[in-house]
């Protein structure tokens, strides 16, 4: 669970006066999530999620909030950010950048069925298409340079020689891939199961756009299948894979270059989350309740991709 910054009832009441949302009814810290502080907030005018951004700078946030606005206003199932009386969707609370967004209905699923995987693949394709008209630009803060620098740091700091060897070898092999040369666009970059909401089998929400960036579209698909289509022991679930990838393809066809790069792109995506989780284990953050995810799960997925060719696109 993660609530890094506590907000009092009085602070929240004062904060909400900036918005046309009516008086505060109740609020509660949200346990899930590892990056930001989140609260569910109920007011006379509806249900909201308040996010205090713990790592992101004020200057970086208009890209993410603008993207959510862009997608939601085109009918995509993302949360529309609320605006203050004077039109701002980004404000300050407790000296941190903060935003209030619509609370979407639904729950995330831990064990997705084939219909849910198919809906996620379709939604990702639709997101890529709808975001083509978004004017904002943001480099991937967890892109190739970050993977290289973080990998080198963790390889130096770890006491386990096998981890050091795996990171160094994977970084060397990743040198042969140029994600920039593949079809580009705005990507979600973190479309894990905990960032998608369902009511039964109906996908009702995509949340947490705070890693969204410009990068290779196929990398986003790799991030998504690595989370949705693998079992906890690191083995691939082929039926989920086919459902998700097939539904994505119904919205956007792959290029030859993407098909050729796919095995290494899957590895780049697995490496990114292994490294970020490993970093959080090795350098834990202070907080009221802090949730850290298991790095080994992503090490297993990376090793799987290194040993076995994935199904072709």
Ligand X SMILES: Nc1ncnc2c1ncn2[C@@H]1O[C@H](COP(=O)(O)OP(=O)(O)OP(=O)(O)O)[C@@H](O)[C@H]1O
Give me the long-range contacts of 141-149 (CB less than 8 A, separation at least 24). 141/211, 141/213, 142/189, 142/211, 142/272, 142/276, 143/179, 143/213, 143/215, 144/174, 144/179, 144/268, 146/272, 147/171, 147/174, 147/268, 147/271, 147/272, 147/275, 148/174
Residues 220-279 that bind ligand HSE (CB under 6 A): 273, 276-277
Of the pair 24, 192, the CB lying nearest ligand X is at: 192
164 interacts with, out of ligand X, ligand HSE, none, CB within 5 to 8 A per kind: none
| Of positions 195, 214, 226, 297, contacts ligand X by CB under 6 A | 195
Task: Pick one of 65, 101, 244, 261: the residue that binds ligand X (CB under 6 A).
Answer: 101
Instruction: For ligand HSE, give the closer residue by CB, 259 or 283.
Output: 283
Comparing CB distances to ligand X, the nearer of 56 and 182 is 56
Question: Per CB under 6 A, which region of 16-24, 136-144, 200-208, 224-232 contacts ligand X?
Answer: 200-208
Among 34, 155, 197, 271, binds ligand HSE (CB under 6 A): 34
Q: Determine the Cα–Cα distance for residues 117 and 121; give it in Å rounded to an integer.
A: 6
**Alpha helix segments (H runs only) across 60-213:** 61-72, 114-130, 144-157, 161-174
In Å, how far from its chain's centre is CA 75? 20
Residues of this chain, 18-47, that bind ligand X according to CB under 6 A:
30, 32-36, 38
The Cα 116–Cα 204 span in angstroms is 11
- Contacts with ligand X: how many residues (CB under 6 A)? 20
Nearest to 119 by CA among 233, 28, 206: 206
277 binds, among ligand HSE, ligand X, none (CB under 5 to 8 A by kind): ligand HSE
Question: Which residue among 69, 126, 208, 215 contacts ligand X (CB under 6 A)?
Answer: 208
Element (H, E) at 249: helix 238-249
Where on the chain is the footprint of ligand X (CB under 6 A)? 2, 30, 32-36, 38, 49, 79, 101, 103-104, 190, 194-195, 205, 207-208, 210
């Amino acid at each position: 669970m993660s609530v890094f910054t506590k907000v009092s009832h009085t602070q929240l009441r004062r904060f909400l006066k900036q918005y046309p949302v009516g008086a505060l009814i109740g609020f509660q810290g949200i346990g899930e999530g590892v990056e930001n502080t989140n609260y569910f907030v109920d007011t006379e005018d509806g249900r909201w999620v308040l996010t205090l951004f713990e790592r992101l700078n004020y200057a970086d946030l208009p890209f993410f909030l603008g993207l959510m606005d862009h997608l939601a206003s085109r009918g995509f199932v993302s949360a529309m950010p609320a605006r203050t009386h004077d039109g701002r969707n980004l404000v300050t609370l407790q000296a941190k950048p903060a935003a209030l967004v619509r609370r979407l209905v639904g729950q995330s699923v831990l064990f997705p069925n084939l219909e849910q995987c198919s809906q996620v693949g379709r939604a990702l394709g639709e997101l890529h298409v709808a975001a083509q008209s978004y004017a904002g630009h943001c480099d991937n803060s967890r892109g190739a340079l970050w993977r290289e620098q973080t990998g080198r740091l963790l390889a130096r700091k770890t006491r386990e020689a096998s981890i050091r060897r795996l990171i160094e070898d994977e970084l060397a092999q990743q040198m042969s891939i140029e994600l920039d040369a593949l079809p580009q666009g705005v990507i979600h970059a973190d479309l894990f199961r905990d960032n998608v909401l369902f009511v039964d089998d109906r996908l009702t929400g995509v949340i947490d756009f705070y890693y969204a960036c410009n990068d290779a579209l196929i990398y986003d698909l790799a991030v998504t299948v690595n989370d949705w289509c693998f079992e906890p022991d690191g083995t691939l679930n082929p039926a989920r894979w086919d459902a998700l990838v097939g539904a994505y393809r119904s919205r956007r066809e792959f290029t030859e270059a993407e098909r050729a790069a796919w095995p290494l792109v899957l590895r780049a995506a697995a490496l990114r989350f292994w490294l970020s989780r490993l970093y959080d284990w090795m350098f834990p953050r202070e907080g009221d309740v802090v949730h850290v995810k298991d790095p080994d799960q992503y090490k297993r997925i990376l090793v799987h991709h290194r040993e076995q060719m994935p199904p072709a696109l």
